[in-house]
Amino acid sequence: MKKLLLLLPLSISLLSAADWPRWLGPNGTGVSNEADWQANLEKVAWKAKVGLGFSALSVADGRLFTMGHDGIKQDGKETVWCLDAVTGKELWSDSYEAQLVDYLHEGGPCATPTVDGETVYSISKDGRLNAYLAAKGTLLWSKNMMTAAGMKKPPEWGFAGSPYVLDDLLIIEADYTFALKKNSGKEVWRSKKYRHAYGSPVAFPLEGKTWIATLKTDGLVILDAKDGTTVAFEKWETSYRTNSTTPLVRGDKIFISTGYRRGCILFQFQGNALNKIYEKKTLSTHMNNAIPVGDYLYGFDGNVHMAGPKDLVCVKFSTGEEKWRDNSNLQVGSLIVAGNRIIALGQRGELAIAPVSPKGFKPIIREQVIGGRCWTSPVLANGHLYVRNSRGDLVCLDVRR
């Protein structure tokens, strides 16, 4: 029981068991609590336009949240959307001026809105942090994280880490890692300054204390959640000055993987140090995380703009050993797991569903469900499967039994 409790999120809202209220879902692992759904990809429930960007979707209490940009380079606007999760009807939206930040990609928001009870938090590509009343869209408070961090311009790839709720705190990446009061945005502490993190932070309990793991451009940082003090650091850099994934924590084990042929590494955290268990080239995740099931990880190995493999692979979490590698022509895709099935979305909008197995990837169905560039992971919530592309097309599939 104690081991199980270590894997549970630290802040739990009264949400449906099948809701998906934040980046990487209810448990922060990319694994859905939903099991009773059918692999039918032909029933389109609705479609919507949400603007340019790569923001994933959050679903809670019948509402869907995401973000998009109008694509205008100068004086453009970004929008936070709240749609009815079943019908796609707009419930509310909020638009504001925001930079596109389109270095080597289309630009637009990358962070995912985070729902916590009656509040939803969002952060723009240029660092505008907003807190809304989830039901009505009333702006509760706003904070410019560029100003708070003393930044003269957005980071090279823009703000991409999603807001993370830890009890009464909101953890935000902005060169520093910030802890803010979630009901006001007031700063509680900030960490030592590192080069920007393009993935999201994650908190975890160990030995009676709470820690925060975040993968900065410099490397893996472990902070004391009480005051933001750095307690451990391990250098982990890529050739493109970016790490854009979220650390995976299981008990005292911390796994990270990044692209540009950097590979993956597993550490054991001992309260004041990170000890390397292994370092491998078997999995280099680019923009989306590998998903854990048992002692195995499933993820996409490879990069969009580099030669080399773009394969879906399975590796053993505890050893890094490659179990299988499948070139299914999904390119640099993303995936989640639900009901012991992989839901993989290819870069060009093809969905593939297959049983989770360390023995191989054998899809039971493949279907082209959307066009354009798809770097944003799919979401399954309450019998509906949602996918979006970079230009802002959003498709909802009804997969209820």
Q: What is the pLDDT of residues 40-59, one digit of tens each?
A: 999 999 999 999 999 999 99
Short-list 154, 145, 117, CA closest to 132: 117
Q: Where are the alpha helices (DSSP H) in 111-214?
A: 145-149
**Which residues touch 359 (CB under 8 Å, ≥6 apart)?**
323, 324
Give the pLDDT mean for 113-127.
98
Determine the pLDDT at residue 197.
93
Work out the pLDDT band at 270, boundaries 50, 70, 90. Answer: very high
Could you read off the pLDDT of 162-210 as tens digits, one per residue?
Answer: 999 999 999 999 999 999 999 999 999 999 999 999 999 999 999 999 9
Pull the structure tokens for residue 387.
Answer: 């996918």
The structure's pTM equals 0.94
Q: Is the pLDDT assigned to residue 9 strictly greater than 70?
A: no
pLDDT the model gives residue 259:
85
pLDDT confidence of residue 8: 41
Q: Please, what are the domains in the chain?
A: 2-398 (2.130.10.10)
The pLDDT score that the predictor gives to residue 17 is 72
What is the band of 67 on the pLDDT scale with cuts at 50, 70, 90? Answer: very high
Q: SS3 for 166?
A: strand
Confidence of residue 261 (pLDDT cuts 50, 70, 90): confident
In this structure, the strands spanning 128-133 and 322-326 are: unpaired
Question: What is residue 15's predicted lDDT score, i.e. its pLDDT?
Answer: 53
Compare 243 and 381 and report the one with higher pLDDT: 381
